[in-house]
């Protein structure tokens, strides 16, 4: 059964897709960079011998989302899995003084997802089958001064996916919320992160694939982030606000 | 988007180390940007041993994210891919389709770009030569920012300066490679336990034409009557029909690798004379004269099974010393070198000896003769010992392998590669007059100004 990937440029998206492709699922890669999309599709076709399609998608071009979703369900009528990966880390400091940056962070990580995901959800709901996976972040579990713009958008996304899961349960459609920790991608490259806590996209991709196939609700990836966030969340606010995080 | 990370880098030998500005570009435009600002060193997976992929005075650009297959002609076995594609990718993708890397180094964690820049050789060098024999063409981002297509007929001077050119002629972006047709995942292997170097050189002559793969493990510790004892491994790709029944099914299944890791740098000198002696003796005792079938992964990549095996050399790292001496007087040279190593007493954990075929690229390491590869933990006295080996190698008109090297000085290098480095430099200057592509290795051995 085919998989739709929104934000195919992401290494996490490609790693998760590789697992689907190995298992023989057709893949529709969607994103903004058409040249890159066709390169990815060509590479997957050689590596895994699966049919790959590409479709232009811009998360911030809300007006065209309906047409996009109609198109993908037309070119791939059996579409059953949707993986929503796109996002934008942005710069916290810039976002504090420049609302354009803050707006872009919020729209890329939240508004854009809501716009596209609702349309996919509606289609799956009417078919009474399907599976949606949304990449949120551990950053959404607690706001910190170093990236609360990004974190708050992801927090919204976590709550959004929670509600969507609740709504679609009765239709037999699964919604998975994915909360990755630090992942070694171009987004985090060059940041001074603790080496031991940085996972490879491959590891995270495999976790996502397994959770989607098993129909899980929420996963932290790698798993130990569940413990880390449990501790982070348990710190009383009176103390937390004084920390340099 | 440009992003640099400041990282303490080294090659696989973990010696020497240098703090470098490292980028992991997603596209060529990003590298063009760096070329405007400073000198650039291409890097793949960092499996060369010394400082070939280090650049303290500029930027290191890793090819790992530019790792896409671009096309594959299934009937002819020709693959076109980006430079960051690895041998592991090639194996995972093409072995089941009946195609094998035509020349493979001893690890599958090497990129195609790195393999070309080192003009890597394998156990089949005496018959097939190095990887460049199978590189139909490649594209390279040159210092001017232009992407040039190079082959035997197009920009051929740059082609021959780039294979074995250690990344100093540009950033290879993609390559077109001819794979080798195989019928199974197995190698039909013949093991010969031999008592001394004379026997080994006789067997090279007796068997080398019949076997595509040929390499000997050499005990570099044993002295007295055991001096020079070795084990010769000979192999050919097995046909499917010849395989024992128990391997037939496996040969048609996707190979899944199991790995163990050395989780941290072993902090004390585990590799002392006693352990190395015991290890070498154990290898010799364990092997028998047999003929058997080995999976390609076990045959070609026994050390990949242990991730980060370089960690056993503690944080000081290791020096790989690989030399090649001409065929004539080759045995005498190898004997002299082995005697020196045995006398040094530090021994080599793993030493391999092999007969080599003809040379390809201008700076390509292999040429007709014999190659011996050894590794030594970095400790007091080892560099002096290697310098003494250099003198013997030079005496026999031999040379050492830049991909493994971390100790050559400019004078010794220029003697070893005399006549070649001058020819190479002419082409380098033609395409890169301002030395935009430079590296710690290039500066150390005088191929780039410091």
- A189 Cβ contact partners less than 8 Å away, ≥ 6 residues apart: B3, B5, B24
In this model, does residue B347 exceed pLDDT 90? Answer: no
Q: Which residues of A touch B24 (CB under 8 A)?
A: 186, 189
Inter-chain touch A189–B26, beta carbons under 8 Å: no
Quick one: pLDDT at residue B269? 58
pLDDT at B2: 61
Q: Is position A160 annotated as part of the catalytic site?
A: no
State the DSSP H helix or E strand holding residue B323, giving kind and residue range, or none if neither: strand B318-326
Length of chain B: 450
Query: For chain A, what percent of residues have pLDDT higher than 90?
Result: 94
Confidence (pLDDT) at B285: 86
Closest partner residue to A47 (CB to CB) among B1, B5, B93 is: B93
Please give the CATH topology (third level) of the domain spanning B186-408.
Alpha-Beta Plaits (3.30.70)
Residue B176's pLDDT band, with cuts at 50, 70 and 90, is very high
In percent, the amount of chain B with pLDDT more than 70 equals 98
Return mean pLDDT, chain B. Answer: 94
Is there a contact between B68 and A43 if contact means CB atoms under 8 Å apart? Answer: yes
pLDDT-derived band of residue B209, with 50, 70 and 90 as boundaries? very high
Chain A CB contacts of B72 below 8 Å: 46
Could you read off the pLDDT of B90-149 as tens digits, one per residue? 999 999 999 999 999 999 999 999 999 999 999 999 999 999 999 999 999 999 999 999
Across the range A191-211, mean pLDDT stands at 93
- Going along A101-215, which residue ranges are E strands? 131-135, 174-180
Ranges of each domain in chain A: 3-240
> Is pLDDT above 80 for B272?
no
- Contact across the interface for B69 and A189, Cβ inside 8 Å: no
- Out of A39, A43, A189, the one facing B3 most closely (by C-beta) is A189
CB count in 10 Å sphere of residue B90 = 23
DSSP class of residue B48 equals: S
CATH number attached to the domain at B69-182: 3.30.465.10
pLDDT at B12 over 60: yes
Q: Which segment of B60-64, B260-264, B348-352 scores lowest on mean pLDDT?
A: B260-264
Instruction: Confirm if A18 and A44 have CB atoms less than 8 A apart.
Output: yes
* pLDDT band for position B360 (cuts 50, 70, 90): very high
What's the pLDDT score for residue B302? Answer: 86
Domain boundaries, chain B: 5-62, 69-182, 186-408
Which residues on chain B place their C-beta less than 8 Å from a C-beta of chain A? 1, 3-6, 24, 26, 65, 68-72, 79, 89, 92-93
Task: Give pLDDT, residue B161.
Answer: 98
Which chain B residue is nearest to residue A186, measuring alpha carbons?
B24
pLDDT (tens digit, 9 = 90+) per residue, A103-152? 999 999 999 999 999 999 999 999 999 999 999 999 999 999 999 999 99
Residue ranges with strand state E in B142-184: 147-151, 171-178, 180-181
The minimum CA-CA distance between B338 and chain A, rounded to whole Å, is 42
The pLDDT > 90 percentage for chain B reads 82
Check CB contact under 8 Å for A43 and B1: no
Which residues of B fall within a CB distance of 8 Å from A46? 69, 71-72, 79, 93
pLDDT at A46 over 80: yes
| Contact residues, chain A to chain B, C-beta under 8 Å | 11, 39-40, 42-43, 46-47, 186, 189-190
Rounded to an integer, the average pLDDT of B241-268 is: 83
- Is B42 in contact with B171 (CB distance < 8 Å)? yes
> Sorting pLDDT into bands at 50, 70 and 90, what band is B271?
low
Is it the case that residue B279 has pLDDT exceeding 90? no
- ipTM at complex level: 0.92
Chosen for mutation from A45, A91, A187, A189 (greatest number of chain B CBs closer than 10 Å) is A189
The pLDDT of B269-279, averaged and rounded, is 74
Considering the candidates A81, A88, A110, A150, report the single residue annotated as catalytic: A150
B327-348 mean pLDDT: 91
Q: How far is A128 from chain B (nearest CA, A)?
A: 36
CATH 3.40.50.720 fits A3-240, yes or no: yes
Of A40, A47, A189, the CB nearest to B5: A189
Compute the count of residue pairs across chains A and B with CB atoms less than 8 Å apart: 32
Q: Are B169 and B425 in contact (CB under 8 A)?
A: no
Cβ atoms of A41 and A47 within 8 Å: the answer is: no
CB contact under 8 A, A43 and B72: no
Question: Do the Cβ atoms of B68 and A42 come within 8 Å?
Answer: yes
Residue of chain B with shortest Cα separation from A191: B5
Task: Give the residue among B387, B426, B388 at the shortest CA–CA distance from B406.
Answer: B387
Taking Cα atoms as reference points, which of B155, B199, B149, B176 lies closest to residue B69?
A: B176
A178 or A193: which leads in pLDDT: A178
């Amino acid at each position: 059964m085919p998989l739709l990937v929104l934000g195919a440029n992401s290494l996490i998206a490609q790693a998760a897709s590789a697992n689907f492709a190995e298992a023989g699922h057709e893949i529709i890669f969607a994103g903004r960079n058409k040249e890159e999309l066709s390169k990815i599709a060509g590479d997957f076709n050689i590596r895994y011998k699966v049919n790959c399609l590409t479709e232009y998608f811009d998360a911030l071009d809300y007006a065209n989302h309906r047409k996009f979703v109609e198109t993908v369900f037309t070119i791939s009528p059996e579409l059953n899995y949707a993986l929503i990966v796109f996002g934008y880390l942005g710069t916290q400091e810039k976002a504090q003084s420049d609302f354009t940056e803050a707006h872009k962070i919020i729209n890329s990580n939240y508004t854009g997802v809501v716009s596209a995901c609702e349309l996919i959800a509606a289609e799956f709901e009417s078919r009474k089958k399907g599976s949606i996976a949304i990449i949120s972040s551990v950053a959404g579990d607690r706001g910190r001064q170093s990236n609360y713009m990004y974190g708050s958008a992801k927090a919204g996304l976590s709550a959004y996916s929670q509600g969507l899961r609740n709504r679609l349960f009765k239709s037999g459609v699964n919604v998975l919320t994915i909360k990755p920790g630090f992942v070694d991608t171009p987004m985090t490259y060059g940041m001074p992160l603790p080496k031991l806590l940085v996972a490879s996209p491959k590891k995270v991709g495999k976790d996502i694939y397994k959770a989607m196939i098993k129909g899980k609700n929420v996963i932290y990836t790698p798993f130990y982030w569940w413990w880390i966030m449990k501790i982070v969340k348990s710190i009383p606010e009176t103390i937390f606000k004084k920390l340099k995080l | 988007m440009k992003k640099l990370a400041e990282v303490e880098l080294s090659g696989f030998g973990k010696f020497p180390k240098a703090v470098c500005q490292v980028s992991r570009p997603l596209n060529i435009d990003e590298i063009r940007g760096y070329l405007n600002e400073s000198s650039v060193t291409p890097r793949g997976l960092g499996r060369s041993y010394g400082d070939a992929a280090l650049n303290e005075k500029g930027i290191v650009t890793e090819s790992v994210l530019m790792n896409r297959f671009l096309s594959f002609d299934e009937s002819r076995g020709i693959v076109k891919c980006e430079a960051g594609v690895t041998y592991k990718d090639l194996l995972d993708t093409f072995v089941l389709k009946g195609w094998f890397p035509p020349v493979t180094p001893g690890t599958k964690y090497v990129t195609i770009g790195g393999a070309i820049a080192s003009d890597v050789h394998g156990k089949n060098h005496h018959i097939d030569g190095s990887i460049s024999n199978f590189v139909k063409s490649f594209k390279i981002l040159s210092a001017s920012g232009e992407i040039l297509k190079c082959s035997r007929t197009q920009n051929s001077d740059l082609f021959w300066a780039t294979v074995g050119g250690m990344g100093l002629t540009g950033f290879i972006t993609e390559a077109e490679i001819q794979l080798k047709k195989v019928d199974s995942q197995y190698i039909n292997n013949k093991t010969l336990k031999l008592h001394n170097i004379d026997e080994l050189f006789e067997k090279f002559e007796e068997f080398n034409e019949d076997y595509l793969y040929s390499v000997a493990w050499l005990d570099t510790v044993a002295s007295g009557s055991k001096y020079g004892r070795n084990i010769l491994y000979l192999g050919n790709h097995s046909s499917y029909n010849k395989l024992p029944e128990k391997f037939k099914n496996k040969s048609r299944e996707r190979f899944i690798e199991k790995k163990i890791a050395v989780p941290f740098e072993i902090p004390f000198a585990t590799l002392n004379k006693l352990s190395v002696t015991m290890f070498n003796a154990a290898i010799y005792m364990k092997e028998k004269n047999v003929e058997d079938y080995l999976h390609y992964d076990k045959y070609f990549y026994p050390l990949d099974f242990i991730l980060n095996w370089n960690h056993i050399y503690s944080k000081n790292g290791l020096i790989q010393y690989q030399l090649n001496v001409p065929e004539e007087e080759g045995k005498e040279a190898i004997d002299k070198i082995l005697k020196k190593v045995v006398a040094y007493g530090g021994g080599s954990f793993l030493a391999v000896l092999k007969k080599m075929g003809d040379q390809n690229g201008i700076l390509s390491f292999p040429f007709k003769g014999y190659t011996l590869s050894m590794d030594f933990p970095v400790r007091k006295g080892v560099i002096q010992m290697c310098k003494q080996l250099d003198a013997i190698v030079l005496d026999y008109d031999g040379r050492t392998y830049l991909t493994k090297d971390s100790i050559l000085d400019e004078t010794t290098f220029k003697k070893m590669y005399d006549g070649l480095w001058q020819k190479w430099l002419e082409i380098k200057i033609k395409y890169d007059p301002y030395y935009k592509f430079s590296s710690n290795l290039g500066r150390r051995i005088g191929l780039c100004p410091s």
